Structure 1
Amino acid sequence: MSDTVCAALVGATGGAGTTRTALELAATLANDGRDVAILDAAFATQGLADYADGRLDTDMTTLLVEPETPLDAALVDFPLLDDTAGRVACAPASAPFERLARAKTAEAARRFETRVAEASETFDHVLLDVPPVAANQAIAAADAAQRVVTVTPATDRGVEANRRIRDRLADLGIESHATLATRGRFDAADAFVPATDAPFPASLATSGEFAPTVAHAAETTVTTKLDLEFEEKSVLDSVDGFLPSSLRRLTK
């Protein structure tokens, strides 16, 4: 199983939890010693910026409208536990409307691929936080990724939204490789991320169901195997036929 450098997490619907999922997957990969970048394509919600402290003078939209701006200028390192070997750095979108509008143009959106390539030279994995595909930058982000993973809540509405977004991606010539369910699970999902009230990064906890289950989701997202151990088994152990061998290996 070979590692995927860049994976796009595409929300099937608004409020699917794509941003928090991207952050927790990144923290899990960092816990395994990987350096991970998250690039923000969710310009409307700008939710990734909520996790960053202070003012962002240079953001993801700046990288798209000002090609001379270095990638590092927009990257914000997110603090993890002291013993976490890897790094999580994000380029959130946080911009006035005028710059948001310019960043959504076809010309600017095409630079997404260039920025992904730059990040891939420095980081082990690049995760893209992508909203439901309906704008230039979202299409460009999904198209730039090696692997596209849809993120959807485990509700009847979410399942139907997931079908629609995969059809839309197919219409654009973009292959969907996997589905992550949030706040529950359903049969068509390849992995799921449980709901949690714990602050980020909840996936660095050594006990409980959240961390090992997110570890399986991270393995699914970037097609890798992680060398992590947890104190307690995931709730997946109680689901016959669902627990993959890789996650059994991770749990005690």
Structure 2
Amino acid sequence: MYATTLALVGATGGAGTTRTAVELAAVGARGGRDVAVIDAAFATQGLSEYVHGRIGTDLTALVADEAGASLSAAAYPIAGGGGSGGRDDRGTLSGRADVVPARAPFERVARAKTAEAARRLERRIDEAATAYDAVIVDASPVASNEAVAAVTAAESVAAVRPATPHGSDALQRLHGRVADVGASVDATVAVSRGIDGEPEGSAADADVTLPATDPRVAAAPAAATGDGAYPRAVADAYARLFDTTLEVDFSEAGLLERIRS
């Protein structure tokens, strides 16, 4: 098995990239896929918030210190969803949704951000592709070695931007940064916040638009079990971004819906 690898890159800070990556992994597992999310945003370490309980070995250790360890040493199931207070929903999913987070002190983060560590990160992404059906790499705007590794190692790149005029402007800058490292943005995901400043048409250039949802970490992953507009949009996004067909049972409709690319 060799997975499809997708780099999700934030066009700007706070675009919702990490949450989108987690939701995509959850809906993929709901549809029977094994999906991993790899953290390539070492500065924020936001992916670690979606792990319930203690994180021992993390991704920075694998790329800075423990070159011989398996990627599985730093893989953790995504903690439960829907405000479940940290319940592990892994058993309710048909597939597997894991995160490989960065959670480390500054000294190790600094060593994990070197060019050599970035090359090791590329190898870790390749390793994940042999163990999962899909691999999502959560990356910050391309301004660090680990982000460059993410966009150059992945088979495709999707930009995540707020559904605002500012998000559209940031997307144009990201296109230039990605092109500078020899890659290209293959798709755009616009994330709505449901607040003022999102005029109609501001996400017209996006391939996928995700509606507003509860932004709290405790409310994620909503796509693991939900049936509303947001989980359905995430399922459609998964199918489009991975160019696949994903079967998810949305009980609200009472039918097995086939989400096609």
Q: CA RMSD in A?
A: 2.1
The alignment's TM-score, normalised by the length of structure 1, stands at 0.88
Counterpart position of 2:75: 75
Alpha-carbon contact 2:63-2:117 (below 8 Å) kept: yes
TM-aligned CA distance change 1:250 to 1:136, over 3 Å = closer
The separation in 2 between residues aligned to 1:231 and 1:56, in whole angstroms, is 34
1:200 Cα shift? 1.1
- Aligned position for 1:5: 4
What residue identity is the alignment partner of 2:77? Answer: D
1:11-90 equivalence runs, <5 A: 11-66=10-65, 67-78=67-78, 79-80=88-89, 82-90=91-99
Shift of 1:4: 6.2
TM-score (norm 2): 0.85
1:231 Cα offset (Å): 4.6
Note the residue ranges of structure 2 that are not aligned, 5 or more in a row: 79-87, 194-201
Report the CA distance between 1:229 and its aligned residue: 3.7
- Aligned letter for 1:75? A
Find the counterpart in structure 2 of residue 243 from structure 1: none
- Partners in 1 of 2:90 and 2:69 — Cα distance? 30
State which of 232, 237, 243 in structure 2 corresponds to 1:223: 243
Q: Cα–Cα, structure 1 residues 164 and 49, in superposed 2: closer, same or farther, change >3 Å?
A: same
Aligned-pair distance for 1:55? 2.7
Is the partner of 1:13 in helix, strand or coil? Answer: coil
Give 1:249 shift: 4.3
Unaligned runs of 5+ in 1: 234-247
Q: Is the 8 A contact 2:163 2:190 kept in 1?
A: yes
The aligned counterpart of 2:197 is none
Q: Is the 8 A contact 1:62 1:69 kept in 2?
A: no
Matches within 5 A, 1:1-252: 5-66=4-65, 67-78=67-78, 79-80=88-89, 82-183=91-192, 186-197=203-214, 199-231=219-251, 249-250=258-259
